[in-house]
Amino acid sequence: MDYRKLKLGKNGLPTWDALIPIILKFANQQEEWRGKALRVAVADDLQLPTDLRQLEYTTYHDNIIENRVSWALSELTTAGILRRVRRGYYQITDLGKQLLTKSDTVDFRMVHQLPKYQQHQQEIKERQLRGTSATNVEDLEPEVTSAESITHILKAKTQAYNDEIAAELLQRIRESNPSFFEELVVKLLVAMGYQGANGAAWVTQQSNDNGIDGVINQDALGTRTVYIQAKRYQESNVVQRPEIDSFYGALNRQHADRGVFMTTSKFSDGAVQAAKSDAIVLVDGIQLTTLMLQYQVGVQLKQKYVLFEIDEDFFDEG
């Protein structure tokens, strides 16, 4: 492939969407690809001059063309053209195979119009509406000098980045198996402190759960117990009132007064009303992943920034 025939962007390198045909070509050649191997294969296939192939960002020293392939992999995965089959491995989907025959016409506009990508964008908007800050990162001034302005921009950009991570996290959970989700929900509630110092937490056996997926005893004697229902649904599969009523019945059989219903989708208005009258706490997909980031379950801290100011008291002492 002669890279000069592709749409070129900054640094004289192909744009991420210009790489789509090459990515799909390689992805279709074997059952799955390790991300690093796929990035290198695509980058090498461009036949770039040595200086461009080895070009790195000045700050982070990441290889630019491989970084651009990584961005393309992320966008294609969000759109459902590729899927992550396990950690660090990618596989072409049926949709990706369909697009393979017309990959030369696939650009960022087409990718961003696909249903899964649109769903992802809608979810990001909903997260922003639920957040405490409505700042649009694109509206921030590029030239900042005051500590307040810098703090404002760091907070906004960090929130925007974390919103993307949370949306990706939710999609990964939806692609997992139901038993994994049940384990995840129990681990999250334990991380939030519901187990207590001497309590216990466990996932019930699937063959005999009686409508209860997890149990948390908040003390050693089990006098305070939280019962959990976990539904790993796709975004379009909204939890309805009958499922809340069923969980309420399961709680009654346990003589319980504490129930938490978590899902990867949403709750209908009827389900919300039923939960209020039955004293059941509802956690939907967006709140679930917000809590996962807050309590660092399924994620890890990537970077911390330190912002200094003058200690006026130090100078007053002189």
Indicate which CATH number applies to the domain containing 290. Answer: 3.40.1350.10
pLDDT digits (tens, 9 = 90+) for 178-216: 999 999 999 999 999 988 888 899 999 876 667 899 999
Domain housing 202? 178-294
Residue 16 lies in a domain: yes
- Residue 291: CB atoms within 10 A of its CB come to 17
> CB burial class (10 A; 0-12, 13-18, 19+) of residue 226?
buried
pLDDT digits (tens, 9 = 90+) for 60-92: 788 999 999 999 999 999 999 999 888 889 999
What gap in Å lies between CA 313 and CA 128, rounded to an integer? 39
Residue 100 lies in a domain: yes
Q: How many domains does the chain contain in total?
A: 2
155-to-130, 133, 301 alpha-carbon distances in Å: 16, 9, 16
CB 240, CB 273: distance < 8 Å = no
What gap in Å lies between CA 45 and CA 38, rounded to an integer? 11
Residue 11 and residue 108 in one domain: yes
Tokens (6 digits) for 143: 């030239």
pLDDT digits (tens, 9 = 90+) for 217-230: 988 887 789 999 99
